[in-house]
Amino acid sequence: MRRRRSLLTAVGIALAAAMLAAAIVVADGLGRGFDRAARAADLADVIVRFDPQRAATVARRIEALPDIAAFSLRQEYTGVAIGANGHNSQSASAEVVGDGRRGYAIVGGRDVSGRPGEVVVERGLASAWRIKLGGTLFIDGLGPMRVVGFAESPDNVSYPLAAARIYLSRAGLARIPGAGLDPRVNFAQIWLRDPRNVNEVLVQARATSYGLDGVRFVTRSGLRVLLDQAAGIVIDLLVALSVIALATAAVMLGSSARAEVQRRLRSIGVRRAVGASRAHLAATQGFEALFVAAPAATIGAVAGTIATYHPTTNLLTLLNEPAPGTALLAPLLGGWLASIAIPVLAAAWPAWRAAGRDPVALLQGAELRRGSAAGGGSFRFGLNRAGLTVLGARLVGARRARLVAAAITLGASTAFILLMLALASALASLETDPGALGKRYQLTANLPATDTARVRAIPGVQAAAPRYELDGVDSFSLDEPIDVIAYPGDHTVFEAPPLTSGARMRGAHEAEVGAGLAGALGLSPGSTLAVQLPTGNELRLRVAGVVSSLDHDGRVAYVPAKALLALDPAASEQLAVRVRPGASVSRISALLGNTAAPATGATARGVPLVDTLRTILRAIAVVDGLVCLYALVQASALIVSERRRTVSVLRALGAGGDAIRRLLAGAVAALVLPAAVIGIVIERLVLGPALSSLAASYATLPLQPTWLEIAAVLAGLAVCSAVAVLWVARRATRETVVSGLGAG
Amino acid sequence: MINTNLGTVTPVPVLQARGITKTVGAGRAARRVLNGVDLDVEAGEVVAVLGRSGSGKSTLLHLLGGLDRPDAGEIVLAGRELTGQSSRALARARLRHVGFVFQSFQLIEELSGEENVALPARLPGARRGGEERARRLIAELGLSQLAHRRPHELSGGEQQRLAIARALVNDPELVLADEPTGNLDQDNGAAVLSLLRSLDGRAVVIVTHEPEAAAIADRVLHLRDGRLEADAGPARAAAALRESA
């Protein structure tokens, strides 16, 4: 019996330690990943892209900027066709690097030298295509190149989330006949002496960029903000769940330890009577807990680390960030010690309290708890058919503080499971349903605006209009990218993200901005949006309203097409096509030919990232379910342990297994029913809104579970309860009645 | 006298035990406390088993009531063999045929006196009419005014009387009392013994080390060295007690 109790305690400790280790691995890996990657890669403070220019011209302008520590120039080719190991891509990015600091880390092999035929590939690409060092990469126009190294740079996410990236040496390319190397550059990296001066440098850079076309700035701090938003969701989820798991384990272990001390009160009384000190008795109890906690915490910590290290490393690879490696040892050690210290203290504290009682009272079988011996609430047992079930509930209700603590921790776990389901639904919806983003068109067609009337005439097409989209930056804060979208008429026919404040735009001088952009730039209805367009022209509009949009992290602006085209007549255009309800999208797509493409969800290009997130969420939900099950089993076992004599009396009176199961069912129901209510309330009123705001402060992410999801979680709780009741009842009825009758 | 409506008392033994052997403890601490015990108890008979502390009296009672299993021997209760039965069958036998009275009462603290008495009647498989019997027993034992109270609000004697009512609620053929007066003062102890004596028509086995308890018995047995030995003296005293009643 005691061995089984120890085993149950060990399982709880192992589970909590596993959760803590998993949280540490993911939180440390993702939370500090960017800084680690930036440090390893020697990431530049400012990255500038522009239309190709002579290197000397660009260098002169950069040298004129204040506080420059160093800079390097590159030619970045996009749309390069590459292939290896049966894989190929037509949209790779080839970075032709020259002298100076690189801005990327070599994580395998070596960097490109001046020799021809060498290439360094991004680690994410190497991983996805299984490219090995010394292997061959085919590059269109250059032929087979030998892969000499793997690189990593956090200035962008990795393949397949972004275009594949490779690095070539300018000197090496110059030695390849017919390589067609452009002597100009279009990419500059700038390192500052004091990165805090980045805004002053950007203002100056904007002034000196006169004559350069297509200038776009990205800063190290801007990159960090973007990446942290994605990682932050996962980190916060895991940290919160770990806290819940630890709290659950602590409450259950504390209760278990208290029950154990209650069982040993006479023994403690004897030892006090023969002169043992309180500290000695508490230490003895603590040491006993240590023998259980140390191996359990070790197993849990190792299991949690192993379970999450690989998925986290994969996620970090996608984000172009290095694995944490030995940096994890210190926080993991701290987590391991906490996993041991909590149960040891939970065991020592009730022993310390008990040892403080009068030894005579202990020898006479005093209760650890002072006060009324009855408890049990005010409701009557009654002579009705539900008698044993109600008795079970009353046995649990007799320990009110315990019941409240257990119901709250179980409720928190339930709330988390609901949250996971709601989040998974939201992710699935964002991935597959453009409508979830407020998009009302189903197709786009790469056709000029002049074809609008022809497309509208296609049967089944409800509406069609030109859609213009380009990348701009904020005129005042140049490192803030803005996705500018324009329609000639009412954009809500095609895209209607929910309005969170203000009004829809009217006329040619108003715009709607995403909440993410509004938050980043401090915009609100009535303020002025100033967008620097790729042409160098500035578009100034009054903000009419703020909309909730997940596209581009909410850094989006809907502007009138007339105002946009006046400043940038060459803005990228396509036709947005809205299909009548019931009409065949695929038929219309076929009629439009290869110019048509389905409208995409926010994450359609980031499917691997979403998949990884969903995998982590699923793992969290499974672990959370196990935490629930553990809490229920532990709570049931505690009831039996504390009420061992009551159970034995019932059995002596003729109660069989069925009656004990009814008793336990009532006890577990008294715990689970309030926990379920607490869980639903916590999710709907606290966790859902909090995470919705945390996950996307730039948009309203609905994280309310559906009634079906709630029903599923309640069914899961019922199953867990049934498992707990059956298991514990089986254990209880295996003990001899006589031994239980003598229990204190 | 409590009216238990058992009908005609027959001389057929309610309880028959043959060659009961039981060893407790393990290894070097193992000790054979019962070594071939034979015992027959008829309906309407009160049997007192006396013995020193640790002689195995309680162990014998637990075996007779199906709370524990003997190492060897056989026990027949109400015409059914107990040894070798499953836990489920033993529980059913206890529910229908046995009423236990414990030294420390073993009332459930969360329940009132009335609820404690009615508890066995609410267990799955209990005979019908238990609730009515519970009310009647409480009334007959003069506990109606106390029945709504929790055990800790009652005296030891009151608690033990409730425990006896609980033992009777399913109308068992056999009542087993383990040191029923061990936690009571002299007056309360006498009242409880008188109550046990009054259970007309049932087989009653009382294990005790108190001679007062033996005085009410039809038959007194001593448990010595793992065996039961008859003692005629207290039986005569019991007969005299009944005659004077």
pLDDT in tens, chain B (245 residues): 444 444 454 566 889 999 999 998 888 888 899 999 999 999 989 999 998 888 899 899 999 999 889 999 999 998 889 888 888 899 999 999 999 998 888 888 888 899 899 989 888 888 888 888 888 889 888 888 888 998 888 888 899 889 999 998 998 999 999 988 887 788 888 888 888 888 878 899 999 888 777 788 999 999 988 999 886 555 544 544 444 33
Shortest CA distance from B151: residue in chain A:
A374
> Could you give the count of Cα atoms lying within 13 Å of A609 in the half-sphere of its Cβ?
24
Shortest CA distance from B94: residue in chain A:
A654
Interface test with B, best of A380, A639, A653, A660 (most B CBs within 10 A): A653
In sequence order, the β-bridge partners of residue B101 are B177
Q: Which of A394, A653, A738 sits opposite B68 (nearest CB)?
A: A738
Contacts of B115 in chain A (CB under 8 A): 380-383
Contacts of B150 in chain A (CB under 8 A): 374
Find the Cα–Cα–Cα–Cα dihedral A384, A386, A392, A393, rounded to 10°: -90
Q: What pLDDT is attached to residue B99?
A: 92
Which DSSP symbol is given to A705? P
Does residue A553 have a pLDDT over 90? no
Residues 6+ apart with CB under 8 A from A40: A105, A107, A152, A322
- For residues A271 and A289, what is the distance between their CA atoms, to the nearest angstrom? 19
Over pLDDT 70: what percentage of chain A?
Answer: 83
List Cα–Cα distances, B231 to A123, B37, B197, B243, in angstroms. Answer: 95, 15, 19, 20
Q: Which of A374, A653, A741 sits opposite B119 (nearest CB)?
A: A653
Question: Coil, strand, or helix at residue A530?
Answer: strand
Structure tokens at A282: 């508490």
**Residues of A near B (CB-CB distance < 8 A)?**
373-376, 380-383, 385, 387-388, 391, 394-395, 398, 645-646, 649-659, 662, 733, 736-738, 741
Does residue A471 have a pLDDT over 50? yes
Contacts of B124 in chain A (CB under 8 A): 655-656, 658-659, 662
Residues 6+ apart with CB under 8 A from A278: A352, A355, A356
Contact A657 B87 (CB under 8 A): yes
B132-148 residue pLDDT tens: 888 888 988 888 888 89
Contact A387 B122 (CB under 8 A): yes
**Is B217:B232 a contact under the CB 8 Å cutoff?**
no
Q: Which of A269, A613, A268, A606 is nearest to A432 (CA)?
A: A606
Shortest CA distance from A386: residue in chain B:
B122
Q: What pLDDT is attached to residue A227?
A: 62
- Count of residues in chain A: 744
Tell which phi-psi region holds residue A111, choosing left (phi > 0), alpha (psi between -120 and 50) or beta.
beta
Q: What pLDDT is attached to residue A697?
A: 44
- For residues A737 and B1, what is the distance between their CA atoms, to the nearest angstrom? 32
- In B78-124 the beta strands, taken as DSSP E runs, fall at 80-81, 98-101
Q: Which of B162, B47, B172 is nearest to B99 (CA)?
A: B172
Q: Which residue has the higher pLDDT, A409 or A564?
A: A564
ipTM: 0.86
Q: Which of A374, A388, A654 sits opposite B94 (nearest CB)?
A: A654
List Cα–Cα distances, A165 to A73, A86, A107, in angstroms. Answer: 17, 17, 15
B144: closest CA of chain A, how far (Å): 16
> Can you spell out the DSSP letters for A602-636?
TTGGGHHHHHHHHHHHHHHHHHHHHHHHHHHHHHH
Here the contacts of B55-60 (C-beta below 8 Å, separation 24 or greater) are B55/B223, B55/B224, B56/B22, B56/B24, B56/B223, B56/B226, B57/B178, B57/B207, B57/B208, B57/B209, B57/B223, B58/B178, B58/B179, B58/B207, B59/B22, B59/B24, B59/B33, B59/B34, B60/B20, B60/B22, B60/B34, B60/B207, B60/B223
**Letter for the amino acid at A307?**
A
**Is A62:A190 a contact under the CB 8 Å cutoff?**
yes
In sequence order, the β-bridge partners of residue B204 are B46, B175
Structure tokens at A151: 């690189």
Cα Rg, chain A, nearest whole Å: 32
Judged by average pLDDT, the poorest of A164-178, A214-228, A396-410, A554-568 is: A214-228
Does residue A423 have a pLDDT over 90? no
- For residues A405 and A160, what is the distance between their CA atoms, to the nearest angstrom? 46
User: How does residue A698 score in pLDDT terms, banded at 50, 70 and 90?
Assistant: very low
Residues 6+ apart with CB under 8 A from A8: A256, A633, A634, A637
A8: closest CA of chain B, how far (Å): 25
Q: Which of A651, A736, A741 sits opposite B91 (nearest CB)?
A: A651
**Is B24:B31 a contact under the CB 8 Å cutoff?**
yes
Does residue A193 have a pLDDT over 50? yes
Contacts of A394 in chain B (CB under 8 A): 110-111
Contact A383 B96 (CB under 8 A): no
Q: What pLDDT is attached to residue A585?
A: 81
**Is A166:A119 a contact under the CB 8 Å cutoff?**
yes
Report CA A565 to chain centroid distance, whole Å.
39
Does residue A237 have a pLDDT over 70? no
- For residues A163 and A546, what is the distance between their CA atoms, to the nearest angstrom? 31
Contact A653 B95 (CB under 8 A): yes
- For residues A559 and A548, what is the distance between their CA atoms, to the nearest angstrom? 15
List Cα–Cα distances, A672 to A415, A419, A685, B97, in angstroms. Answer: 13, 18, 19, 37
Contact A652 B134 (CB under 8 A): no
In sequence order, the β-bridge partners of residue A106 are A151
Q: What pLDDT is attached to residue A111?
A: 92
Does residue A683 have a pLDDT over 90? no
Judged by average pLDDT, the poorest of A181-185, A234-238, A266-270, A547-551 is: A234-238
Structure tokens at A509: 């001088």
User: How does residue A285 score in pLDDT terms, banded at 50, 70 and 90?
Assistant: confident
Three state DSSP letters for B125-155: CCCCCHHHHHHHHHHHCCCCCCCCCCHHHCC
**Letter for the amino acid at A494?**
F
Classify residue A460 as exposed, middle or buried by CB count within 10 Å of its CB (0-12, 13-18, 19+): middle
Contacts of A657 in chain B (CB under 8 A): 87-88, 91
Please provide the average confidence, as pLDDT, over all residues in chain A: 80
**Is A664:A694 a contact under the CB 8 Å cutoff?**
no
Contact B94 A395 (CB under 8 A): no
Q: Would you tell me the crossing angle of helices A220-263 and A400-432 to the nearest 10 degrees?
A: 150
Here the contacts of A368-373 (C-beta below 8 Å, separation 24 or greater) are A368/A258, A368/A261, A368/A262, A368/A265, A373/B109, A373/B152
Q: What is the mean pLDDT of residues A304-330?
A: 80
Does residue A374 have a pLDDT over 50? no
B53-75 residue pLDDT tens: 888 998 999 999 998 899 999 99
Q: What pLDDT is attached to residue A707?
A: 87
> Can you spell out the DSSP letters for A345-391?
HHHHHHHHHHHTS-HHHHHTT--SS-S-S--S-SS---SSTTHHHHH
A33-44 residue pLDDT tens: 788 888 888 888
Q: Which residue has the higher pLDDT, A480 or B113?
A: B113
Contacts of B63 in chain A (CB under 8 A): none
A489-530 residue pLDDT tens: 888 888 888 788 889 998 889 999 987 788 777 788 998 888
Q: Which of A387, A388, A741 sits opposite B106 (nearest CB)?
A: A741
Q: Residues A186, A188, A193, CA angle at the centre, nearest 5°?
A: 170
Contact B95 A655 (CB under 8 A): yes
Structure tokens at B29: 């601490």
**Is B70:B21 a contact under the CB 8 Å cutoff?**
yes
Interface test with A, best of B109, B152, B183 (most A CBs within 10 A): B109
A431-463 residue pLDDT tens: 566 665 667 788 888 888 888 898 899 888 999
- For residues A247 and A343, what is the distance between their CA atoms, to the nearest angstrom? 11
Does residue A25 have a pLDDT over 90? no
Q: What is the mean pLDDT of residues A76-98?
A: 87
Q: What pLDDT is attached to residue A378?
A: 38
List Cα–Cα distances, A488 to A570, B10, B19, in angstroms. Answer: 15, 107, 104
Q: Which of B115, B124, B134 sits opposite A656 (nearest CB)?
A: B124
Contact A652 B100 (CB under 8 A): yes
Which DSSP symbol is given to A162? S
**Is A632:A410 a contact under the CB 8 Å cutoff?**
yes
Contact A656 B111 (CB under 8 A): no
- For residues B147 and B150, what is the distance between their CA atoms, to the nearest angstrom? 8
Q: What pLDDT is attached to residue A373?
A: 43
Q: How many Cβ contacts (< 8 angstroms) between chains A and B?
A: 97
Shortest CA distance from B92: residue in chain A:
A654
In sequence order, the β-bridge partners of residue B208 are B50
Does residue A601 have a pLDDT over 60? no
Contacts of A383 in chain B (CB under 8 A): 115, 118, 122, 131, 134
Contacts of B152 in chain A (CB under 8 A): 373-374
Tell which phi-psi region holds residue A477, choosing left (phi > 0), alpha (psi between -120 and 50) or beta.
beta
Contact A655 B65 (CB under 8 A): no
Q: Would you tell me the crossing angle of helices B130-140 and B113-122 to the nearest 10 degrees?
A: 150
Residue at token pair 């298991």: A727
Report CA B170 to chain centroid distance, whole Å.
13
Over pLDDT 90: what percentage of chain A?
Answer: 13
Residues 6+ apart with CB under 8 A from A114: A169, A171, A172, A175
**Is B223:B208 a contact under the CB 8 Å cutoff?**
no
Classify residue A621 as exposed, middle or buried by CB count within 10 Å of its CB (0-12, 13-18, 19+): buried
**Residues of B near A (CB-CB distance < 8 A)?**
62, 65, 67-68, 87-88, 91-96, 98, 100, 102, 106, 108-112, 115, 118-120, 122-126, 131, 134, 150, 152, 166, 170
Question: Coil, strand, or helix at residue A500?
Answer: strand
Structure tokens at B103: 């030294």
Q: Which residue has the higher pLDDT, A131 or A475?
A: A131
Largest CA distance in chain B: 52
Q: Which of B67, B108, B112 sits opposite A738 (nearest CB)?
A: B67
Structure tokens at A704: 């309310």
> Could you give the count of Cα atoms lying within 13 Å of A652 in the half-sphere of its Cβ?
32
A376: closest CA of chain B, how far (Å): 6
